[in-house]
Amino acid sequence: MEKRDITMDDMKDMLHMKVDFLGALCAVVGRAKEIHENEALPETQPLVDHKAKTLKRRRDESVPKPKPKRRKRRPPLPLLAGNPPLPEEFQAAIEEMALVKNGAATEAKLVIQKKLYHTDLSSGHNRLSIPFNDIENDFLTEEEKQYLLGQDEKKKKLFFEVKIVQPSLEVDTVKLCRWDMPKKSGKTSSTYVIRGSWNAIVKSNKLRFNRTVQLWGFRVDRELCFALVKVPRNRAA
């Protein structure tokens, strides 16, 4: 085969071919990179600015959170207008109790007026609560208060057995004791409670939730007694 000298025109043609090849190669590489980026990060998915997110979280943490509001204590149920006296039928029942004992009865004073809650009517609780803060008139002597703070030999709270005139005007015997319940704040919530036959009184007198009642205190021959009055619905506060 006969050799031929490479001319200047041949070198130019070869150079042009290399340039065209490199251009095509760059175009293919660029297109492949574009496809790869589009598949790795769709246009619909925004970039996450981790630095801005971190700064926002630190800023939120630096702002003091508002303290939870303390529940306001429900104010005592307002008394009926003019604080009416004990109904006449209860007065008659008290006088009869005094006659039976051949003694005298003191004037009845309102101890508490309240609406009955679920815990006052629950058979599992079997008690009527008389919170200290809601008592209208003091009904115990200092000696009786001290007695209710004590315990018996079995470490059980001491109590009084007290006669009570029910709404039906029947007389029953209940137990009066004191409960002291510690709170998370470290303080103590104290209440007197009527127990014993309270469940039977609820059932026989058809006491219902949210019904307003009054508890009156009086003494017959110095012995503490109670009268439980159901306030008529059209007169309840």
Beta bridge pairs of residue 219: 224
Give me the percent of the chain exceeding a pLDDT of 90: 55
What is the per-residue pLDDT across 191-208, written as a single tens digit (0 to 9) for each?
999 999 999 999 999 999
Nearest CA-CA partner of 228 in 133, 162, 160, 161: 162
177 CB-near residues (< 8 Å, 6+ apart): 148, 157, 158, 159, 160, 192, 193, 195
Look at domain 88-230 and name its CATH class.
mainly beta
Q: What is the pLDDT of residue 10?
A: 62
Beta bridge pairs of residue 179: 191
Nearest CA-CA partner of 168 in 196, 194, 199, 202: 202
Q: How far is CA 47 from CA 2, 32, 33, 43, 51, in A?
A: 65, 22, 19, 9, 12
What is the per-residue pLDDT across 119-164, written as a single tens digit (0 to 9) for each?
999 999 999 999 999 999 999 999 999 999 999 888 899 999 999 9
Euclidean distance between CA atoms 120 and 207, whole angstroms = 10
Euclidean distance between CA atoms 31 and 37, whole angstroms = 10
Highest mean pLDDT, choosing among 3-12, 27-36, 216-225: 216-225
Q: What is the pLDDT of residue 233?
A: 79
- Show me where the domains of the chain are located: 88-230
Per the listing, tokens 């008529």 go with 232
Euclidean distance between CA atoms 132 and 138, whole angstroms = 10
pLDDT for 39 beyond 60: no
- DSSP annotation of 155: S
- Helix then strand then coil, in percent of the chain rounded to 5, is 35, 25, 40
Average pLDDT, the chain: 81
Structural contact between residues 193 and 177, judged by C-beta atoms closer than 8 angstroms: yes
